[in-house]
Amino acid sequence: MAPALTLERVQKRFANGLLALRDASLQVSAGEFVSLVGPSGCGKSTVLRLVAGLDAPTAGRVEAPALANGASVQGPHDPRTSFVFQEPTLMPWATVFDNVWLPLRLAGQSREQARSAIGEMLQLVGLADFENSYPAALSGGMKMRVSIARALVTRPRVLLMDEPFAALDEISRNRLNADLLKLWSIHGFSVLFVTHSVFESVYLSQRVFVMSARPGTVVTEVAVDAPYPRDGAFRATTVYLDATRAVSAALEAAQGEVMP
């Protein structure tokens, strides 16, 4: 499969001199679900920002749809890349409908033009009845669903997720994981999913990249050879257990302690 995004020997040094990434390489194929795990501050989020074109590398090569057509760090504008942050990052002054409308609105679509796409997306994340609610009236899990609907309403080719479920309780988290896989199987976008959780990364992904402590680099890649759809039973299979063990061991080697 053709690569959807590529990082080749990327280095990122911030203006304050901090070296966040060194020599980091990874590739994600079109339609692939890939996770990135690593200790806190290892530069996982920086990788996402580089791929989204929100930051530029100090050395190395980044190829991603957001950077095509000469789009610069000042203003990438490829609606085919979407970003989901750890916080839902909704506009508190706007309804659920208007929040999901935002990417299309910025691309010049009127409310009427966008209506069917938004309605369909809210249906898919199970929030069809909440169009006119304000974020303040929603639970944490529901806000995250709005955030995902907003990310997917542009039909992205690449979905970047930065620990999106880390702040949720375990039940909401498991449900959102299952729902995310369902959406992914319907739409077939590529996912680069950053997480702290070894279990989450193995449950979701086809491949897991393990990063070392700062300055971060990709040290290992663990393949999870199990078919989709995956459900709760998958968590009891040997493939799952072997993969979590391998990822945990790689993390331990990378930083000297286990982070399940």
Cβ pair 239, 230 in contact under 8 A: no
> Which segment (76-84, 121-129, 175-183, 184-192) binds another protein by CB under 8 A?
76-84
Cβ atoms < 10 Å from Cβ of 11: 16
Sole binder of another protein in the list 18, 56, 59, 107 (CB under 8 A):
107
Where b means 16+ CB within 10 Å and e means fewer, 107-132 reads eebeeeebeebbeebbebbebeebee
Shortest gap between Cβ of 206 and another protein (angstroms)? 25
Using CB under 8 A, which of 8, 23, 63, 87 touches another protein?
Answer: 87
Cβ(96)–Cβ(135) below 8 Å: yes
21-60: contacts with another protein (CB under 8 A)? 49, 52-54
Q: Please, what is the minimum distance in Å from the beta carbon of residue 18 to another protein?
A: 18
- Give the phi and the psi of residue 2 in degrees, each rounded to 5: -70, 140
Residue 168: is it exposed, middle or buried by C-beta count within 10 angstroms (0-12/13-18/19+)? middle
Q: Is 171 in the site for another protein (CB under 8 A)?
A: no
Judged by CB under 8 A, the residue of 46, 81, 195, 244 near another protein is: 81
By the rule CB under 8 A, 128 interacts with another protein: no
CB 33 within 8 A of CB 200: no
- The interface region with another protein, picked from 7-15, 35-43, 71-79, 237-245 by CB under 8 A, is 71-79
Q: Cβ of residue 93: shortest distance to another protein, in angstroms?
A: 4
The arrangement of strands across the sheet holding 59-63 comes to 19-29, 3-13, 59-63
Q: Does 228 help bind another protein (rule: CB under 8 A)?
A: no
66, 161, 194, 208: which one binds another protein (CB under 8 A): 66
Based on the shown chain and the rule CB under 8 A, indicate whether residue 75 belongs to the binding site for another protein. Answer: yes
Length of the chain: 260
Residue 199 touches another protein, criterion: CB under 8 A: no
The reply on whether position 105 binds another protein by CB under 8 A is yes
The CA radius of gyration of the chain, in Å to the nearest whole number, is: 18
| Residue 103 near another protein by CB under 8 A | yes
> Can you tell me the distance from the alpha carbon of 21 to that of 69, in angstroms, rounded to the nearest whole number?
25
Phi, psi for 218 (deg, rounded to 5) = -80, 120
Please, what is the minimum distance in Å from the beta carbon of residue 111 to another protein? Answer: 13
Binding site for another protein (CB under 8 A): 49, 52-54, 66, 75-79, 81-83, 85, 87, 89, 91-94, 102-103, 105-107, 134-136, 154
